Structure 1
């Protein structure tokens, strides 16, 4: 793995998962690639079985935690993919409304998909994101000495 790539640990999220919650890549702008945020609580249990809207709220909370641990946030997201384990368009739309509302007017490109199944027991929703890192605070450059 390149020294420019760093997988970001997120201590406030469950360690049950078998992947990094986020990765950052050092470039002129640091790029953040998240794993799909799942509706898991801190112990690794799926929240709100049977309730895609309830799961969407937990997913977005978990996505925000992964982004924050990576030095980013929802306002820096440049792309999302939203997966809903349902063949009902009403379920997809209801989940999308939660995702959209959490972005609070920020409108990154997104794909919304209905899928047959997701990886965890009782899981109905997953959201992955690509973001850029927040800019470092402005630092005063020292003036010439002499």
Structure 2
């Protein structure tokens, strides 16, 4: 089977980034677009107020659950956007390390942003993703 997506590292660009710079998706592949995964527990409460890393772990668990409901996995993700409610670069790095570790060797292109505020009380982290699933997925 042809892989539904390919991640593209770009040797001409810096290797400091811990992700591929681009991704391609085979036409007719089923795309999955997630809403922003939030650091909410099953009752809708924001977990770990004030703790960027703990919220990022909850966000990634929720993202995996949402992807699974759509028949996808983290290894199918071809693009993420990571939002961090902070003006401190250290907080963005803390969140990024959690997100990166959840993806392991799979390094989809990603955008990491510091924002002023997110939608839920005490929310510090949100991650949205696009995944490409093959015909058998």
- TM-score (normalizing by structure 2): 0.79
Displacement, 1:135?
Answer: 4.3
Given that 1:71 and 1:134 are in contact with CA atoms closer than 8 Å, whether structure 2 keeps it comes out as no
* 2:65 is the counterpart of 1:103: no
Highest CA radius of gyration, 1 or 2?
1
User: In structure 1, what is the equivalent of residue 44 of structure 2?
Assistant: 44
SS in 1 for 2:55: helix
Aligned equivalents of 1:123, 1:94: Cα separation in 2:
15
What residue is the counterpart of 1:28 in the other structure? 28
1:74 paired residue number: 74
2:131 is equivalent to residue 131 of structure 1? yes
Distance 1:66 1:95 in 2: 19
Structure 1: 4+ residue segments shifted above 6 A: none
Structure 2: tracts of 5 or more residues without a match? 1-26
- Gapped regions of structure 1 (runs ≥ 5): 1-26, 138-146
Higher RCO (CA < 8 A, seq sep 6+): 2
1:59-108 CA-to-partner distances (Å, cap 9, x unmatched) read 00000000001010100000000000000000000000000000011000
The size of the alignment, in residue pairs, is: 111
Equivalents in 2 of 1:43, 1:94: separation in Å?
26
* Counterpart position of 2:60: 60
- Asked if 1 retains the 8 angstrom alpha-carbon contact of 2:75 and 2:106, the reply is yes
Cα distance in 2, alignment partners of residues 134 and 36 from structure 1 = 23
**Residue in 1 aligned with 2:20?**
none
Superposed CA RMSD:
1.2
